[in-house]
Structure 1
Amino acid sequence: MTSTAVTDPASRCPDPVARRLVTEAFTAIRRVYVPERHQIAAAVLADGQVYLGLHLDAMVGRAAMCAEPAAVAAARLVTNAPLTAIAAVRYPKPSESVGPRIVPPCGLCRELLIDHGGPSMTTVLDHGGTGVLVPLSDLLPHKYIGTKWAAAR
């Protein structure tokens, strides 16, 4: 992999919030990346502060944990402030010729993020090579609404 392959994908984010979150996630995963163990970091914004989470892979796939819930848990240990935005960055394997990239939350994470951040919470997506903030409700327009919690949202 060439040195240009490790360019911060935040350089393609015109929005300052998106750029901040992507840089934080990129910096974290670049520092702790381990192939097949830790490939993605997430950064969530709450009350002006950024909280980080790390993807934890596991031998048993179901035991693995995405970076987004880890970031939400880190935020919730410190604050009950609304979660306003999140970004996740995947670091490339040594065998890959692409650089670090912004990745969208998986379906389970979309559900969890709306449960804890609400449908107006935004996520950074790669849209034609540019990192843009998109409301989670655009990614999950038909959110499951159960009876476990009061339907406050």
Structure 2
Amino acid sequence: MTTDSVRTVTDPSQGCPDPLASTLARAAFTLIARVYVPERHQIAAAVLDADGGVHLGLHLDAMVGRAAVCAEPAAVAAARIMTAAPLVAIAAVRFPKPSEDPVARLVPPCGLCRELLIDHGAPNVAAVVDVGGLGQLVPLDELLPHKYRGTKWGPR
């Protein structure tokens, strides 16, 4: 369990009306609630592949900021170890610090993670994000409308 197991933390999947969004948010929340360490592991992600597999990733903080790894790339790497199936959706959940209200929250992927997910995801890969207090699946193209599209891998 967490280092702060005396309090109950609200699971953000409860605010996801879409069953897929709820499943991914719950998977990410369950992982981060189990392994949370303040200032070290604060966010977990769950990515869904087109074959129905759910792959988990954990945020790895570091003393040198550039060495830190977001949860989303860790989940993408875990997926790629298991399957070549396109990635279709992701959710990331941040666990609250002991000094914060006991509410875990959905976090949208940062710009670098959005780029990575679009590079490795299905054409309409989506993220579960908070939209008006509800966890909604939003295509990453709507979050990152002007994606850099290089020629290294050919047209996508």
Alpha-carbon separation, structure 2, partners of 1:57 and 1:132? 27
Greater mean deviation of Cα atoms: 141-150 or 100-109: 141-150
Aligned-pair distance for 1:147? 2.2
The corresponding residue for 2:53 is 49
4+ residue stretches of structure 1 with deviation over 4 A? 1-4
Gap regions ≥5 residues in structure 1: none
The answer to whether the Cα contact below 8 Å between 2:24 and 2:90 also exists between their aligned partners in 1 is yes
Letter in 2 for 1:69: P
Residue in structure 2 matching 1:32, options 30, 35, 38 = 35
The corresponding residue for 1:65 is 69
Q: Say if 2:14 is the partner of 1:11.
A: yes
The corresponding residue for 1:104 is 108
In the superposition, the TM-score normalised over structure 1's length comes to 0.95
Q: Say if 2:89 is the partner of 1:85.
A: yes
The corresponding residue for 1:121 is 125
Q: Percent identity?
A: 72
SS at 1:145 equivalent: coil
Alpha-carbon separation, structure 1, partners of 2:63 and 2:7? 31
Q: Alpha-carbon deviations, 1:8-52, whole Å to 9, x = none?
A: 110110000000000000000000000000000000001111000
Alpha-carbon separation, structure 1, partners of 2:10 and 2:132? 17
Aligned-pair distance for 1:118? 3.8
Alpha-carbon separation, structure 1, partners of 2:14 and 2:150? 40
Aligned-pair distance for 1:129? 1.0
Alpha-carbon separation, structure 2, partners of 1:23 and 1:104? 15
RMSD, aligned α-carbons: 1.3
Alpha-carbon separation, structure 1, partners of 2:108 and 2:35? 20
Greater mean deviation of Cα atoms: 139-148 or 107-116: 139-148
Letter in 1 for 2:152: K
In the superposition, the TM-score normalised over structure 2's length comes to 0.93
Residue in structure 2 matching 1:140, options 136, 144, 147 = 144
SS at 1:113 equivalent: helix
Aligned-pair distance for 1:98? 4.6
- How many residues are aligned here? 151
Gap regions ≥5 residues in structure 2: none
